[in-house]
Amino acid sequence: MHLLVKGIQHRISSEILVPNSKYHAHRALILASLADGESRIQGLSDARHVEYTVRLLRDLGVQIVREGDTFVVRGLGGHYRPVRDTVSAGSSGTTLYFMTGLAALSNRAVTITGQKYFRNRPVGPLLRALEKMGVRLESANDCPPLHVLSHRPTGGEVTIPGTLSQWISGLLLLAPFATGPTTVTVTGALNERTYLELTVAMMRQFGLEVTVAPDWRRFDVAPHQSVRPTELTLPPDIGSAAFGIATAALHPSDVLLRGMPSLTGGPADHPEFHFLDIARAMGVPMELDPVAGGVRIQQDAPLLKAVDVDCRDVPDMLPVLTTLATFAHGESVFRNVAHTRLKESDRAGVMLQLNSMGAELELSDDTLRVTGVDSLVGAELSSYNDHRVLMSLAVASSRARGHSTLSYPHAYRISYPGFLDMMNTVGVPTSVEKGPARSARSRARETVREPVRSVADPDHACEVTLPEWLARHAASRPGDTALVDVRPDGDSVVTWSDLAGRVDKAAALLLELGVRPGENVAYQLPNRLEFVVLSLAALRIGAVCCPVIPFFRARELGFVLRRSMARVLVVMDEYRSRRPAQEALALAATGGPDTAHLEHVVVLARSGGGSRPPQPPPGGVRLHDWETALKATTVDRAALDAIRPTAGATAQLLFTSGTTGEPKGVMQSSSNLVRAVSMEIRHLGLGPDDAVWVPSPLAHQTGFLYGMTLATVLGVPQILQSEWDARRALVSLNAHRATFVQAATPFLADLVKAVEELGEAPRHLRIFVATGATVPRSLAEHASEVLGTKVCGAFGTTETCLGALSRPTDAPERRWGTDGRVLEGVRLRVTDDRGEVLAPDAEGNFEILSQTTFEGYLDRPDLTAEAFTPDGWFRTGDLAVLDESGYVRITGRVKDVINRGGEKIPVGEMEQLLFRHPAVDDVAIVAMPDERLGERACAFVVLKDGALLGFEEMCRYLDGHQAAKQYWPERLQLVADLPRNPIGKVQKFELRARARHLRPHMQ
């Protein structure tokens, strides 16, 4: 089903009855339920979220009846008497946040739940604050269902992030019933202050005392207060009226909004009253009509002006304001919109759909810019089941030429059940139609049906090179998003057509610099657009991609340049606190063997504009600015098209990051790379509606292959982030609807922490494939709950690509409790030191036989030979256990084995056990020398903030888990962090070096 909106060109006129405020209704009903006596709340709200509050209060024993347009509430004097063990908040966040703490006032324990999808909403910060107030509650994953025990709160000093005003309001509503005084202090950015002002005003109206600091960051509430029964009338709901106002503002009109007694007010009247001020500033001709009893909008020709708005006080109004700004003269700027991106949907991001109708919107992390246009054309849009987005896009569609269709057509009922009637009453034909509406993306899929099918057929897909996949997408869906470049100064969205044009330009530049097919092109770039452009450009002309990890310094860079013999190097002028261009030129200035083949250094500015590269060193190295060089380059398409790289040619030279020693140059063909991602696409069921988030370095195989290459083959957006920041990552995930990511443990752990701190989970992320290092099982389990996504275990190497991967449909203990199941087309085995294949469930050397195995190590036939068994299987260097179903568990590295007096310690198992200790944030176990036993185990441990752990406590913990004493680490070494390479693997060789000088705590 979909909502059909027909654009109109005629004058509209009618009367609109503005409903009553749902915000006041929630608060008034809850406070009345706590009063000792009868309260009357006049002016019913028919919003579905208010119905959820009424139902939940009734299930707590509160009598609520309707008399005409009045709620009659017989309060229970601060004590609930539940009639059910489990009560539901439905899909109302307000109901959940307000009632979780108040449920403790019940005379018995009660469980609060919600609709199925609602049970993934994290409320950790609120729960922690309630616990500090003395509320006793239980939650398996900081999400509903929440089991709240009967226990009056004690009060105390509580801190809470200012992310959501509803969390703070939930604490304030509970505090008067505590046995001691309560102080609530807000930390971080304070959003939605007007909603807090409404809560406090309503509490005072019911006789409760709250002392508020001038900056609204501290609240003091006395204990043992009583709620006074009250009679009040709910004011009009400006949040609903906004859609009638916006509709009338976009057309010649004569519309009366009945029930709005004034155009002025304050937070106590309605938290969204600022919308009226903004609408008037935009030129909406609103006039009070006291005779008719409402606000009238009358005009012959719409003429709106651009505005500059701080959205912190009106976050819910951003969608409808965006609609108005779309038709305003000039550029409107909406600032501080990050919070709006953590609502029911990413409200700033989804409004970018207006661009498909001819609008001009540009979004950065915290700012939305809208340049007004004269008209739009009808389109097929998604509301993402967000009531405000649905209504705002519908209003915009009323001004479009032709018809528009929107998904989730009934979302408006959540807050404004009369919306559909309002639209039709004023003369905008709007209806719910049966049958799915085909999106533009669906039509694109039909156009390229054969290529889309082929991406999940490895034998077919591997015959098509990456530049050919790019060309297909650019031809079939030129305007679709191919790449999103997320940077601190704003997000940049690139279409398939634009990406193809940039690639041709860069390919022409490489040809001008003398690069020829088969040559290695070296580039040291973070995750940004230019990395993808340069990679595809090199492949376009048959050259070999030789990316360098951004963290590498002169020593490692020199090694890569010497071994690759690259004549062209592309680097940043600045990266974090370093100047890579200067470092590279200083290296060239030495005249040593590292840069003997280097001829050109191309410098890319961090800001994206032109750079001012340092002076070139004496000698033959020539210096270029990336942007300047591109502008001066002419694309000879005939020359480009004349170069036809084959799928079997070497496409990638990747130097392993080296957890054990000198990096080795791994050579992979295009056929191998494309086959590998096609195998994963088929295994996971990825499709054209996915979007790939790429936090892993593109210069490492995880990011290069299962980020950039996968997205390019599948033909879906890839979302890049150049500088890792978990909070910005969370915003980007939601802003650009990322559904899939493959990354290592640190990215998973940091994202979990960000979600716990911000209280908002990724809303679209379906699959997180955890690779690069063994992921602690307890972290994977916790992450699955906190992120609301499927965390899948996997195993792969740079040399073989993925060999094992679990599926989202696997049982949890298989999905994240193993390192995956053998992929179709791959064979796995476990052998003993003599090469004999071991029976299932026995630990041994882990080996792989795959069609995606590399060509060999660059110029090292000796190392290549050592990497394979006599019968052609690749030696991974890992220890593993393989079960009968093909699931593998990596138990350690062969070189990490600790031989304690002839007894091999199961390092991986002990690390997993220690990781589950509540004080442990990270752990790695390595061998330390011992004269008597040869080796003993030393545990390097990173503690969680404020946690303590001693050696004896560690031993008691291991003893309590029945771990054999011979396996216990005999030294506990606390460290600030573990040394890791750029993709998250612990560099145990460095820890072993530290452990050489350590001695056991006890012999």
Rounded to whole angstroms, the Cα distance separating 867 from 827 reads 16
713 has a pLDDT exceeding 90: yes
460 has a pLDDT exceeding 50: yes
What does the pLDDT read at residue 342? Answer: 64
Instruction: Using alpha carbons, select from 564, 510, 565, 566 the residue that is nearest to residue 533.
Output: 510
What does the pLDDT read at residue 611? Answer: 55
What does the pLDDT read at residue 982? Answer: 63
Residue 435 assigned to a binding site: no
Residue that the structure tokens 């409404």 belong to: 198
Estimate the crossing angle of helix 466-476 against helix 670-684, to 10 degrees.
Answer: 60
Contact assessment for residue 381 and residue 390, using Cβ atoms and an 8 Å cutoff = no
pLDDT tens sequence across 853-862: 999 999 998 8
pLDDT tens sequence across 947-956: 999 999 999 9
Q: What does pTM read for this prediction?
A: 0.55
Residue 316 assigned to a binding site: yes
Q: How far is the CA of 253 from the CAs of 240, 246, 285, 330, in angstroms?
A: 19, 11, 10, 23
Three-state SS string over 408-452 comes to CCCHHHHCCCCHHHHHHHHCCCEEEECCCCCCHHHHHHHHCHHHH
What does the pLDDT read at residue 214? Answer: 94
Name the token pair of 1003.
């012999």
Contact assessment for residue 879 and residue 846, using Cβ atoms and an 8 Å cutoff = yes
Tell me the average pLDDT across 423-431: 92
Residue 93 assigned to a binding site: yes
Tell me the average pLDDT across 168-186: 96
Sorted by where each starts, the structural domains of the chain and their CATH numbers stand as 2-17+236-433 (3.65.10.10), 22-232 (3.65.10.10), 897-1003 (3.30.300.30)
Contact assessment for residue 118 and residue 89, using Cβ atoms and an 8 Å cutoff = yes
Residue 962 assigned to a binding site: no
Instruction: Using alpha carbons, select from 799, 546, 533 the residue that is nearest to residue 676.
Output: 799
pLDDT tens sequence across 473-493: 998 888 899 999 988 777 889
What does the pLDDT read at residue 445? Answer: 35
Contact assessment for residue 734 and residue 363, using Cβ atoms and an 8 Å cutoff = no
What does the pLDDT read at residue 365? Answer: 67
What does the pLDDT read at residue 120? Answer: 64
What is the set of active-site residues? 316
- Percent of all residues in the chain with a pLDDT value above 90, rounded to a whole number: 60
348 has a pLDDT exceeding 80: yes
Q: What is the DSSP string of 721-772?
A: ESS--HHHHHHHHHHTT--EEEE-HHHHHHHHHHHHHHT---SS--EEEE-S
Rounded to whole angstroms, the Cα distance separating 546 from 544 reads 6
pLDDT tens sequence across 499-516: 999 999 999 999 999 999
442 has a pLDDT exceeding 90: no
What does the pLDDT read at residue 271? Answer: 72
Residue 39 assigned to a binding site: no
Which string of b and e fits 109-146 if b means at least 16 CB within 10 Å?
bbbbbbeeebebbbbbbbbebbebbbbebebebbbbbb
pLDDT tens sequence across 93-106: 899 999 999 999 99
773 has a pLDDT exceeding 80: no
Rounded to whole angstroms, the Cα distance separating 699 from 652 reads 11
Amino acid found at 466:
L
What does the pLDDT read at residue 383? Answer: 87
Contact assessment for residue 928 and residue 793, using Cβ atoms and an 8 Å cutoff = no
Q: Phi, psi at residue 385, to the nearest 5°?
A: 60, 30
Band of residue 661 on the pLDDT scale cut at 50, 70, 90: low
Tell me the average pLDDT across 938-950: 94
Rounded to whole angstroms, the Cα distance separating 707 from 808 reads 18
Residue 165 assigned to a binding site: yes
Residue 660, helix vs strand vs coil: coil
Residue 988 assigned to a binding site: no
What does the pLDDT read at residue 447? Answer: 32
Residue 343 assigned to a binding site: yes
Residue 368, helix vs strand vs coil: strand
Band of residue 163 on the pLDDT scale cut at 50, 70, 90: confident
Tell me the average pLDDT across 362-366: 80
Q: Phi, psi at residue 278, to the nearest 5°?
A: -65, -45
- Percent of all residues in the chain with a pLDDT value above 70, rounded to a whole number: 94
What does the pLDDT read at residue 676? Answer: 96
Cα angle for residues 261, 416, 271 (degrees, 5° grid)? 50
Contact assessment for residue 736 and residue 691, using Cβ atoms and an 8 Å cutoff = yes
Band of residue 259 on the pLDDT scale cut at 50, 70, 90: confident
Q: Phi, psi at residue 125, to the nearest 5°?
A: -60, -40
pLDDT tens sequence across 268-304: 566 778 899 999 999 999 999 888 888 999 999 899 9
Contact assessment for residue 225 and residue 209, using Cβ atoms and an 8 Å cutoff = yes
Rounded to whole angstroms, the Cα distance separating 879 from 877 reads 7
What does the pLDDT read at residue 659? Answer: 42
Which string of b and e fits 985-998 if b means at least 16 CB within 10 Å?
bbbbeebbeebeeb
Average per-residue pLDDT in the chain? 89
242 has a pLDDT exceeding 70: yes
707 has a pLDDT exceeding 90: yes
What does the pLDDT read at residue 1002? Answer: 66
Q: How far is the CA of 457 from the CAs of 106, 461, 585, 675, 824, in angstroms?
A: 59, 6, 45, 8, 11
More confident residue, 863 or 28: 28
What does the pLDDT read at residue 757? Answer: 85
C-alpha 494: how far from chain center:
19
Residue 166 assigned to a binding site: yes
Tell me the average pLDDT across 707-726: 93
Which string of b and e fits 59-81 if b means at least 16 CB within 10 Å?
bbbbebeeeeebbbbbbbebbbe
608 has a pLDDT exceeding 60: no
Residue 226 assigned to a binding site: no
Rounded to whole angstroms, the Cα distance separating 565 from 596 reads 8
pLDDT tens sequence across 614-651: 666 666 789 999 999 999 999 998 889 889 899 999 99
